[in-house]
Amino acid sequence: MWLLLDDNERKKCLLEGLVEASKRAFWDEDGRAVCPELTITSLLKKRGNAFLKFLQLFKDTQKSADTIPFAVPSEWWDHALDDVDKPLSSKDKFMHTLLTSSRNDFICHFILQAIKAISRDIVDESEGTKPIVDAMESCRGSGLADGWPHIIENLRDKPIIRCENCEKSAEELGTGVRFMVCAICKTKMNLNIHYCSKQAPFRSICRPVTHVFARNCQKEDWKRHKAHCGKEGSKRIPGTAGDCAWRIPSSLLPDYLRDSLNTGDHFEVTNLGPGKPRFRRSSALQRQVSMLETDKDADYILFSSSGEPVRFVVDDPWMKLTFRSMRATAMSDARQMGVGPMAEYLIKVMNGYPGLSREIMLRQFVDEYGPDARAEVVQSERKSAERLGGGATFLEAMSRNMSVMGQVLGR
Ligand SMILES: [Zn+2]
Ligand SMILES: [Zn+2]
């Protein structure tokens, strides 16, 4: 049936697939960055046969895979790790796992949504011309129409330069700025820790115009820097050489993940903290965050009917990772997207614990995340029931996905 559709109709369905997948996938349209083969032009090749070929590849992989979920092969993705040093460090493995699972998540959403669009239009006998124009218009400038090349362009090929002390870039400092590097860090670790030195005109009473350094950032920073100079690097300002994920722009890597990758030598799930908030945290949420910061092994603190704190700890390492990622999104992302799925899981596991009930927990989430939290939990539960079956929550499904990817990589 796909091949019977006219070109415009095909284009429209694929576009809808991409737009809808971007709305539904875990990382929104950023998920598309890891699926470069999904472009309308390439899928429309040979009068739409390219899309059928992609579907076939997806189905074949699904059939032959001994694990669920499975990785959709692509030449580009197979070579993604080519210029990374082998063997992979635990941090690189983790990043790769995370990106692979977000890639698969996006692909599944795309296929589902494109097929949905096709079947609906066939049923509706849609003319399929005006909507294409509208859809193309509406997605222009949203980053979707030209998403992939745009993001590839933004992957850094070298670290950015910011002053280790004042954290400013050359642009922000204006003309007359020179950067120097810490000689000890350069020799011992081959790491460029930059310091600015802006020359500013200075007029003294008894001498003619002379130039002095307006500030000496290296000197100012020494008190802090000497503790780890030549040993463990820098403040790890995002994007600079000291940040182990400098290649990845902030649109593709949430702050909380970057922070945890930059803490310690190996990736440890207990380093995955609540992140820096992009909104004003309520006082209840501030209390939660400070309790979690003191008790790094606890994943959440619930409060019983009598106000007693109940430590919630996840044992399974993949579930812990999934839970903490969602928790950081809930506690720091401006849209607080993680509240529903995180709370859904807490309620499922802890409902019936002495002193706790669904209602008591819901009240706590409303205190912490605001009045919308209740509706978000209900919506998350409804979606999971519709899509997952077997009583699984969104986080459980996601954690299974991550753990399978992790095992594949560990082989
Ligand atoms: Zn400076
Ligand atoms: Zn140094």
Q: What is the pLDDT of residue 33?
A: 64
Asked if 269 and 314 touch (Cβ cutoff 8 Å), the reply is: no
257, pLDDT greater than 60: yes
Asked if 238 and 145 touch (Cβ cutoff 8 Å), the reply is: no
Asked if 128 and 8 touch (Cβ cutoff 8 Å), the reply is: yes
Residue 267 to residue 262: CA distance in whole angstroms: 8
Q: 21-30, 121-130, 356-365: which range is least confident on average?
A: 121-130
Helix (H, G, I), strand (E, B) or coil at 201: strand
Residue with more model confidence, 102 or 286: 286
Ligand 1 center to 209 CA (angstroms): 23
pLDDT in tens, 187-231: 988 888 999 975 544 444 454 444 444 458 888 899 999 888 888
Give this prediction's pTM. Answer: 0.56
Nearest to 197 by CA among 224, 230, 233, 173: 173
Sign of the dihedral through C-alpha 380, 386, 391, 395: negative
Strand-pairing partners, residue 200, are: 212
Q: What is the pLDDT of residue 152?
A: 54
Ligand 1 center to 192 CA (angstroms): 14
Give, in order, the Cα–Cα distances in Å from 228 to each of 6, 155, 188, 222, 258. 64, 29, 12, 10, 20
157, pLDDT greater than 50: yes
Q: In whole numbers, what is the pLDDT of the chain averaged over residues?
A: 76
Q: What is the pLDDT of residue 365?
A: 97
Q: What is the pLDDT of residue 133?
A: 35
Ligand number, closest to the Cα atom of 218: 1
106, pLDDT greater than 80: no
Q: What is the pLDDT of residue 75?
A: 62
Residue range 154-162: mean pLDDT, rounded: 83
Residue range 265-291: mean pLDDT, rounded: 87
Ligand 2 center to 411 CA (angstroms): 38
Ligand 1 center to 163 CA (angstroms): 5
Residue range 106-129: mean pLDDT, rounded: 63
